[in-house]
Amino acid sequence: MKNIKHLPLLLTMICLCFCIILYGFSSKSETKEHLNTETTTQTSETNETNETETNLPTEEEIINEAEDDKLPQMDDYDQRSKDDGWKAKDRLFVSSGFPSKAQSDGCINTPVLYFGSLNYALQNMTIKNAVNKTTVWGNGPRINNVTAANSGIITVPQNGDLYEDMDEKSKNTYYTTTNGDAPINGNSGSFYNFTTTNIRNYDHTNRNSLTPNISGPDALGIGDEGIKANSVKLFSRIDPETGLEEQRLVFEQFYRPNWLSKKKYQIKIQITQRFNNNNDVEVHTDFINVGNQKLNNFTGYIFRDITFIKNDKIVKNGSNNILHSLGAHEGLYAVNPDFGGKLEFKLNREHDSPYAWAGRGTRPWYFINEQFPWSAKDSSMDNLPNVFKNIYDQGDKARKDPGAGEPWINRHFNSGVSMHTENTNLDLNEKVSMSYTTHLDIKAKQHPNIVLADYGTEDDPDITENKAKFYSLKGSWFDYLNNKVDILYTLDDKNMDHAKKISSNTQTDSEMSEGKNHPWSFDIPLSNLNAGVHIVRVIARSTSIGENGEKIHHDSDIHKTVFLIDSKATKEPQIEVLSPDSFTSKNDPYTPNYELINFSGAWSDADSKTVDIFYQIDNQSEVPALISEKNKLIGKANRWEFEDFSVNDINDNEVHTLKFIIRDPDGHEGQTKFFFKLSEGKISLFAPRKINFGSHNLIPNRSVSVNPSYDGQFLVNDTRTVKDPRVRINLTIGDFYLNSNKHPSNTQKLNATVYWKNSVIPVGKKFNITTIAAPDHNNRLHTTDFSQEIDDNLSLKITTDKNIANPHQANLFNSHWQWEATDSI
């Protein structure tokens, strides 16, 4: 019998007693892949709400139905995303980072990310409802700003539910950081955090390229120039680096001079956000020219309001903050004692970090016909522009950094962060990108915190010349609980017990209380290091004394930076692969997680102006990868990228050799080898986040049978070989129990029976609902959609007693279901 590994997936169902509504939710819809995994299990908690029937309109009923176009799930343009593991979603949802350890009261702090407002993401609002207008004639504001890449922290009590709705019944505590990212006074939608472009400037004959006309994506009367409603799509996948779920939102802005014009100015905006291993949220935005006109003087913009919100209330001075420096032009942070934490923006750690950024400027996403963000000196902002003078003004990025922990502007004001790309002439199908990182921290942490300004990665290391004598580290630290903190590091050593001390530091009680950042720096000698990749790991450490007098270390998360000492350039060009893995061999090959592999690395040539790069698989013919690459850094290391290498036509488990060959115009040549091997095949199970069994009036001593409806699909992805056995889909269900805030230990059960066709699915026992055939072709990925079988065969029968207790009272019932895909016998 083959080994079976299970991965939980939450499915939640909601039932009613008198007027009954049944739903089902799932927390994550994709598995974390493992080698030799043959089975994937996803479990789900089901919530069932019992409410008396009313004629009040539901959220879906008040949304304008005029825009009734079905949103596309995946078009041809997005096929590469599909091959890279991205799955289309019909509804907004919440993805979680790494949870904290349980506190003394059993509470757990979990960072989350999502698009739009947190309450709508927890409700799993449909994409269609989020982007439709709120009036029948279609000119009212949209209900939810999906262009907002948001994140927060949810504190969940012991035995609580991270994904429960954000309402007055919730026992969770919610920490969010932008205006409207909570149901404040009945309003939400996160309207002050948005992404846009200067596409509106192409609609003006008197446009000024230095101070272009821009507007919010929901500005009244601009139509598709803000958001082309039927272009909005949402995707998710499991990050192969962290095993956490990441999200991607795509929408377009479109302008045509008139209906008869063949000119189309069209931008596809793709926003991806993910947690890294330190619970930082990395936000990457691509602006892609998908129209038929070259976009001269193009710029993309992101505006982020900073407002500290706890549950549904803005805390004292929540919108009026002093913005402090992280040091070393790393970025800025805001801290609020009533909120109990701080928000960091790291704006200078990527190659595509914002060209310009400033800790100023907020507007709602429906602003229009203003000069924002262009202005002259503003006396309320220390005579700085609010926000930029023009597109070449880099804002605070070009100002003198006041130093870690010091204010950029030493006064409280309506705070926000503005950023934009460099002015670019964007050809057809070309793109420009912009990346930044946020980190939200609350005082519940029991250990110090560290910021590392140097942030090379395995994919994109800092490149250091072979003549360099030192590699400089710098950053900052803060600690809410300790006055004394040490900074330590290791070089090419994962074991932090071997860490060497960089510095010993102290802080005052007031600095500790506010979580003030303090600078640190250190130069690592390079004289004994060889050319190649090196990894530095850094921690902050405080020490306390235990009950028996022993020393107890409290270490921060480990932060690391990767740097490359380049080889001495020669007349013969040299090339090396750094990502996805810089150290592969026949005995230790790379195993891809998805059907596409993206490569990056470095190359050098001592004298040639251009080079060509080819690839070759297992001694087959050479294929061009990059032609006429310019030698921008003659004699030094240049970066190269080669994306979307497909392994879909390979369907074996042998080690393959991928050779990269570099040639200059004189015929000189260099090469490097990359070894990879596909996994032995696995099964991934996907299910909708919510199942809806509808609303029904129940009569005493009668029964009713209901069928499910849902947004999404039931899918199995199979990457095994054609000779493997069939896949069995099993379902295990639990009873529905009453969940009451007044009586949390209530054991009252709902009288309900689940059927598959005409067979009863027994409670607590595995039940086979269907079998899926083995792959019948040689492609790497075989996908089966068994949603129709669910629609046709799954039902729930609810029987009421003769005397219904409290027939007009709303009740909540919980049940646990488990789905399983397995090829074992």
SS (H, E, C) 668-727: CEEEEEEEEECCCCCEEEECCCEEEEEEEECCCCCEEEECCEECCCCEEEECCCCCCCCE
pLDDT at 11: 29
Pairing of strands 384-385, 413-414: unpaired
Residue 144 has pLDDT above 80, yes or no: yes
Alpha carbon 625 to its chain's center: 30
According to DSSP, the residues that pair with 438 across neighbouring strands are 281, 345
Q: Which two three-digit tokens encode residue 455?
A: 């942030």
Least confident of 38-52, 125-139, 518-532, 744-758: 38-52
| Dihedrals phi, psi of 625, to nearest 5 degrees | -110, -55
pLDDT digits (tens, 9 = 90+) for 553-609: 889 889 999 999 988 889 999 999 988 888 899 999 998 877 889 999 999 999 999
* Lowest-confidence pick of 115-119, 256-260, 481-485, 807-811: 807-811
Question: For residue range 73-117, what is the model confidence (pLDDT) as tens digits?
Answer: 344 445 555 567 788 888 999 999 999 888 778 889 999 999 999
- Rounded CA-CA distance 449/442 in Å is 11
Query: Which long-range contacts link 630-635 to residues 24+ away (Cβ below 8 Å)?
Result: 631/605, 633/604, 634/569, 634/605, 634/606, 634/607, 634/608, 634/609, 635/569, 635/604, 635/605, 635/606, 635/607
CA–CA gap between residue 352 and residue 820 (Å, rounded): 42
pLDDT of residue 609: 94
pLDDT digits (tens, 9 = 90+) for 9-34: 222 333 333 233 333 333 333 322 22
* Residues 6 or more apart whose Cβ sits within 8 Å of residue 285: 149, 195, 269, 270, 271, 272, 300, 302, 433, 434, 435
In angstroms, the CA 579 to CA 610 distance is 22
Residues 618, 748: contact at Cβ < 8 Å? Answer: no
d(CA 705, CA 725): 35
Angle at 790 between CA 787 and CA 794, to 5 degrees: 170
Separation of alpha carbons 228 and 67, rounded Å: 11
Range 214-217, long-range pairs (CB < 8 A, 24+ positions) = 214/301, 214/372, 214/373, 215/367, 215/368, 215/369, 216/363, 216/364, 216/365, 216/366, 216/367, 216/368, 217/145, 217/147, 217/251, 217/253, 217/365
Residue 677, sorted as left (phi over 0), alpha (psi -120 to 50) or beta, turns out to be beta
User: Tens digit of pLDDT for each residue in 697-717?
Assistant: 667 777 888 888 776 678 888
Instruction: Catalogue the E-assigned strands of 757-803.
Output: 759-760, 767-772, 782-785, 794-799
What pLDDT band is residue 4 in, cutting at 50, 70 and 90?
Answer: very low
Sign of CA dihedral 472, 478, 484, 488: negative
Q: Which residues contact 239 (CB under 8 A, 6 or more apart)?
A: 245, 246, 274, 275
Q: What is the mean pLDDT of the chain?
A: 81
Backbone angles phi, psi at 200, to 5 degrees: -65, -25
Determine the residue type at 226.
G
Cis omega (within 30 of 0) on the bond before 580?
yes
Q: Give me 58's structure tokens.
A: 């539901």
Strand locations in 290-430 (E): 295-298, 300-305, 309-310, 313-314, 320-321, 323-325, 331-336, 341-346, 356-358, 377-378, 384-385, 413-414, 416-420, 424-426
β-sheet with 574-579: strand ranges across = 574-579, 596-604, 638-646
Alpha-carbon gap, residue 613 to 624, rounded angstroms: 6
Q: Which helix (H) or strand (E) holds 774?
A: none
- What's the longest Cα–Cα distance across the chain? 93
The helix (run of H) or strand (run of E) holding residue 264 is none
What residues contact 817, with CB distance under 8 A and at least 6 apart?
Answer: 11, 13, 24, 43, 44, 46, 731, 732, 733, 734
For residue 312, what pLDDT is reported? 83
Using the Cα atoms of residue 176, residue 182, residue 184 and residue 189 in order, give the sign of their dihedral: positive
Residues 6+ apart with CB under 8 A from 177: 151, 152, 306, 307, 308, 309, 343, 440
Sign of CA dihedral 286, 216, 395, 208: positive
Joined together, the tokens standing for residue 20 give 């009954």
Q: Which of residues 72 and 120 earns the better pLDDT score? A: 120
Considering only residues 244 and 379, tell me which one the structure prediction assigns the higher pLDDT.
244
Predicted local distance difference test score (pLDDT) of residue 67: 30
- Entry field: residues in the chain: 825
Looking at this protein, which amino acid is placed at residue 756? Answer: W
Burial class of 790 by CB neighbour count within 10 A (0 to 12, 13 to 18, 19+):
buried
Identify whether 373 is preceded by a cis peptide bond (ω within 30 of 0): yes
Over residues 662-677, mean pLDDT: 95
Q: Rounded to whole angstroms, how far apart are CA atoms 815 and 693?
A: 14
pLDDT of residue 458: 79
567: number of Cβ within 10 Å: 15
Average pLDDT value for residue range 664-678: 94
Q: How many Cβ atoms are within 10 Å of 444's Cβ, its own excluded?
A: 17
Higher per-residue pLDDT: 209 or 505: 505
